[in-house]
Structure 1
């Protein structure tokens, strides 16, 4: 299908850098005339650990593999590559990690591409100053922010919109490596820079944010969005996949509070009037999307802090009598462990906590999905949390004999359960929680972000 005059084509190869994709699908996107490659590299989906620790969810080898394909493609087609939320949490260390991989690939492949890095990490002093100025506001269900909470965070990032990315592209960057960014900003920056209308751009960016997830076969690769002045089309890059009006429209349900409206730093996407039409059995056309600019540009803050240290133990129960009386067993376990910790370690319940999760019984949904029959086996995970790793492990060690031999109150013998590994206790390290869910009123859309431009690295 030929694109309308003045259209911009956005190639989204995958939902997350490092997740992998077939190189042939990227080649197909170039054949269809892609003008830019955009890919997300981060998320809060996997919890606060990656932001709090400043480490990546993906392995460097997987990221390097994907980047090598995308950098070659960008150089071959002479189009920009935009990567958002580098290093999972978008911290400065995450941007630097991806930048090092990019530099290595550019040297090895002898690709003369210039690179812009955009840092999104915020200092505690900056956030506290804006807080004092009344420029920081909570997002539901968060409450008003205080300075102590800001100081408790190990890392704080601001979630950029398209503006810093667009500025880097206008400055001539071939590759843009952004810190924390909205998933949509990564795909929206280039078409907005080219003058495409905001409604179709932001809607298309939302649909392509997860690559092939808007297709009938999400595992096979990415998609190409062709955006013009009256709407956009979505086409899968794998010939065996298809986009349908339902698969495309359904993606507005993904990670949104409202399936018809979605807030960006610059305003709100409104798809209440959008119409999804099948162009053929693989391609979908969307028209009627609108974007309402906000009176006040805002940047969302994300911060994580350490809440303690955790040690895990895991055992498996096959004893039919214990399984039939698992509630009584759990109650006894809690009572005995609490008493023994107080006896042996001198700790009361204020100095540690533990959680007993019964997999195969109710660990996932709890009482919302009661078992209709006794399961054949139950895996019991013990998670102990305390102010230090040593203390958490000490409590878990006190629990060790209970995880292996605790009978129900009415049993006349000592059962043998089954540890999954030896040693039974695994130290999980620091445990984090999200502490910031707030927005900052900005003076300019780019003031909170710092951009550095690098020339193409020389080959060794």
Structure 2
């Protein structure tokens, strides 16, 4: 049943975990239902895992994990007669990602005998439409990107717009009970119903930010999701697991997570300001937050995300434990690059402009690079060679040229051939197409929902 448009005294938001498919216990959802939620909201994706999932239009989660989580949540939503909202379906929010999650949901509902109205909200964008907006001066770059070129739009395999709460609220008003959205801000999923029910924007958007990663705002994120109770003066946050705890520090600290400014966070409709927020322990496991504000923007904007193919990759990985080489591992890596570049030219006739090589030294400085404070010689090093070329065959050929070097290459002053250990056989692992993010831009829009398309599972009447 869609929430009433009458102003409520309080609104409950149940967030099972930080991402659909990450798992949670049925008991945590059962406890969440006893707290009186008005909506179940969960994110279905992220850009955290890089551009591949957007570029390829594929999910990082397995269907079995999504099906398992959806079964619990669909039954809970039906029992409580409240909406279930999933955003950024299929990891990146592509149209195929929305359809993938919808097909899983429809299969679960058929198996469980559930009759719920489903809305699919699509967020993929047509490059032709975006080029028109670009020509009209309605697209601007977000730091650190520069001005957008039309050919960049044309080069993307997929482009999504990041919706706010408005298309989700519109789908609920039109009778949807399950909302499967394309790319959306993490916070929009939890904010939609409270805003519909008359909660003030400041506490609503702040609560939505705190719950968006599930248990991340607790002292033990491994124990699952959280519940927010929003009222007209603030909100209370508590863990779903009765043994878990929220403290003022654990809640306040979540504003540091994935934000450029710990006090201000931009949404399509405006900016959340928590600079005057207070965090008070209600008891040993709940925290109340007051003083959050929301500044409505003069111009509504939709952020664009796009990815394109940069080439094809092949990977090799070998392990080195020879103490002479590990003691001079950076010299060895530089020597490997020099010898390999020469052999590629001699063997394949390719110049270094025709391909890319990345040599990563795991166990030495592969994570922090030159700023690693530990300068002591490593005991063992894993060497990953990542080759990028215009074709898969070329990338693999280059990796095969590197094979004997990654097995026996000595330092220039060594009088013997060392032996290293490849992690796999064959040593060359083809990764297929590689992608890069090329859009980090915002579009000025007249309608918050105008760039998104909603499909309902069956005819619904406007509420």
Q: TM range, normalised to the smaller chain?
A: over 0.9
Q: Does residue 121 of the first structure (1) align with residue 127 of the second (2)?
A: no
Choose the corresponding residue for 2:67, options 64, 67, 74: 64
| Unaligned residue ranges in structure 1 (runs of 5+) | none
3-state DSSP class of the match of 2:67? helix
Residue matched to 2:169? 166
**8 Å Cα contact 2:139-2:444 kept in structure 1:** yes
Match of 1:183 among 186, 189, 194: 186
Q: Cα distance, 1:370 vs. partner?
A: 4.2
TM-score using structure 1 length: 0.97
Alignment of 1:38-437 (within 5 A): 38-437=41-440
CA contact (8 A) 2:259 2:265 kept: yes
Task: Summarize the alignment of residues 437-456 of structure 1 with structure 2, pairs less than 5 Å apart.
Answer: 437-455=440-458
* Structure 2 Cα separation of the partners of residues 421 and 42 of structure 1: 31
Partner residue, 1:13: 16
Cα distance, 1:376 vs. partner? Answer: 1.1
SS in 1 for 2:415: coil
Q: Deviations over 1:439-460 (max 9, x none)?
A: 000010000000011149xxxx
Alpha-carbon distance in 1 for matches of 2:262, 2:76? 34
Question: Matches of 1:23 and 1:253 in 2, distance apart?
Answer: 30
Per-residue deviation, residues 76-125 of structure 1 (Å, max 9, x unmatched) = 11111000000000000000000000000010000111100000000110
- Give how far 1:330 is off: 1.2
Cα contact 1:159–1:300 (8 A) shared by 2? yes
Structure 2 CA distance, aligned partners of 1:79 and 1:5?
15
Over 4 Å off, 4+ runs? none
Q: How far apart, in 2, do the equivalents of 1:171 and 1:212 lie?
A: 32
CA shift, 1:326, in A, is: 1.3
Q: How much does 1:246 deviate?
A: 0.3
Q: Distance in 1 between matches of 2:229 and 2:332?
A: 59
Distance in 1, Cα, partners of 2:8 & 2:103? 38
Quote how far apart the aligned CAs of 1:353 are: 1.2
Contact 1:222–1:237 (8 Å) recurs in 2: yes
Unaligned runs of 5+ in 2: 1-6
What is the aligned residue count? 453
Indicate the RMSD between aligned Cα atoms, in angstroms: 1.0
Tell me the distance in 2 between the aligned counterparts of 1:372 and 1:401.
29
Equivalents in 2 of 1:303, 1:123: separation in Å? 11
Cα distance between partner residues in 2 of 1:148 and 1:188: 36
Q: Report SS of the residue matched to 1:117.
A: strand
User: Is 1:328–1:409's contact at 8 Å kept on the other side of the alignment?
Assistant: no
Residue 332 (structure 1) shift: 1.3
CA distance in 2, matches of 1:242, 1:185: 25
User: Counterpart of 2:394 in 1: which secondary structure?
Assistant: helix
SS, match of residue 38 in structure 1: strand
Matched with 2:25 is 22
- State whether residues 207 and 228 of structure 2, in contact with CA within 8 Å, keep that contact through their aligned partners in structure 1: yes
Does the 8 Å CA contact 2:315/2:385 hold for their aligned counterparts?
A: yes
CA distance in 1, matches of 2:303, 2:309: 21
TM-aligned CA deviation for residue 221 of structure 1: 1.1
Q: 8 Å contact 1:157–1:180 — kept in the other structure?
A: yes
